[in-house]
């Protein structure tokens, strides 16, 4: 069991006059209306640090806090390998299945939670993220200088990232580029989700075929931008979704239905796809040395 968590948020002007029950039911659809009503009635939801009734009307500027009791988190691989460590930064190999940040039922069973246990006073800060089902190289800052400089390198597209990905067979060229925009679209459970969208932000991926097999194709993908789930979305948009991806389908859009009435909608944190951060290159913020790292991929991606 973890220690529970407090979710704190301020009521916006657009939510004025909404009841507390309607607010949580409409905004956080992972739980039913009855579940939210029971939580409010049990005093787990406070308004300006005071207990409220489900029918309490909200006003702009008020603060809501949901005190989630401790819960048993799903089991995930918690270990990670440190490939490089100095006073400024950390380069690690994240296993597939380990979430980077809290969310979706995970709190302590995350990379950030494990980093906090290992570095309790100066917890390294992720410069970029990997999806829960994605394995491989991650870069983290350990000093204010590194955080600022590496973040600048990310914004200016100076951090070199190459992935291995596995898709099905198809009539694809040996090399091609994808520049479909990626943005937010509505989702019935998560409020929104990232997908191919003409109104989204520019994204650029360069793809090279490494190996064609009878039932799969091994790809190397260099990303020049770092949009959420970029490789999964781009390859699905091109007609080649990652093998085993439960979420993104042809067209770069999420699957917005469950396979049967008893299952939940697929979400980005669901695993099963094959994606690995294989190469990482950047300039060290203190020494200005050019650093390059490789992380051996799993057998399916060799």
Element (H, E) at 55: none
Give the tens place of pLDDT for each residue, 145-193: 999 999 999 999 999 999 999 999 999 999 999 999 999 999 887 889 9
Judge whether residue 262 has pLDDT over 50: no
Whole-number pLDDT of residue 258: 57
Judge whether residue 264 has pLDDT over 80: no
Hey, where are the domains in the chain? 5-68, 159-271
5-68 is classed in which CATH architecture?
Answer: Roll (3.10)
Domain 159-271 has CATH 3.40.50.1820: no
CA distances from 259 to 23, 193, 246, 247, 254 (A): 29, 19, 10, 11, 13
* Residue 277 contacts residue 293 (beta carbons within 8 Å): no
Q: What is the mean pLDDT of the chain?
A: 94
Give the tens place of pLDDT for each residue, 50-107: 999 999 999 999 999 999 999 999 999 999 999 999 999 999 999 999 999 998 889 9
Element (H, E) at 299: none
Judge whether residue 259 has pLDDT over 80: no
Q: Is the pTM of this model over 0.85?
A: yes
Is the sign of the CA dihedral 151, 290, 231, 267 positive or negative? negative
- Percent of residues, the chain, with pLDDT higher than 90: 90
| Of the candidates 137, 132, 5, the residue with the CA atom closest to the CA atom of residue 77 | 132
Provide mean pLDDT across the span 119-138. 96
- Percent of residues, the chain, with pLDDT higher than 70: 98
Give the tens place of pLDDT for each residue, 97-111: 999 999 888 999 999
Give the tens place of pLDDT for each residue, 10-52: 999 999 999 999 999 999 888 899 999 999 999 999 999 999 9
Paired sense of beta strands 182-187 and 205-212, if any: unpaired
């Amino acid at each position: 069991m973890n220690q529970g968590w407090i979710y704190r948020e301020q009521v916006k002007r657009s939510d004025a006059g909404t009841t507390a029950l309607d607010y949580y039911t409409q905004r956080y659809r992972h739980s039913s209306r009855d579940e939210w009503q029971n939580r409010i009635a049990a005093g787990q939801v406070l308004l300006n640090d005071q207990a409220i009734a489900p029918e309490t009307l909200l006003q702009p500027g008020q603060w809501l806090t949901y005190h989630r009791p401790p819960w048993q988190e799903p089991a995930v691989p918690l270990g990670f390998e440190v490939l490089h460590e100095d006073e400024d930064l950390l380069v690690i190999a994240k296993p597939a299945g380990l979430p980077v940040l809290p969310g979706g039922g995970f709190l302590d069973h995350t990379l950030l939670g494990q980093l906090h246990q290992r570095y309790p006073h100066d917890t390294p800060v992720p410069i970029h993220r990997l999806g829960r089902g994605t394995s491989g190289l991650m870069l983290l800052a350990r000093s204010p200088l590194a955080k600022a400089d590496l973040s600048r390198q990310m914004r200016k597209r100076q951090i070199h990232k190459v992935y291995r990905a596995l898709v099905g067979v198809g009539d694809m060229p040996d090399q091609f580029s994808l520049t479909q925009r990626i943005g937010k679209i509505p989702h019935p459970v998560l409020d929104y989700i990232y997908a191919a969208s003409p109104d989204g932000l520019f994204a650029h991926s360069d793809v090279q075929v490494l190996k064609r097999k009878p039932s799969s194709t091994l790809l190397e993908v260099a990303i020049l931008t770092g949009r959420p789930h970029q490789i999964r979305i781009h390859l699905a948009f091109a007609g080649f979704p990652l093998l085993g991806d439960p979420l993104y389908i042809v067209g770069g859009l999420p699957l917005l239905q469950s396979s049967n009435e008893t299952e939940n909608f697929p979400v980005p944190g669901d695993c099963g796809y094959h994606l690995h951060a294989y190469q990482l290159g950047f300039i060290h913020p203190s020494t200005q040395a050019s650093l390059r790292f490789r992380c051996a991929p799993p057998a399916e991606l060799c």
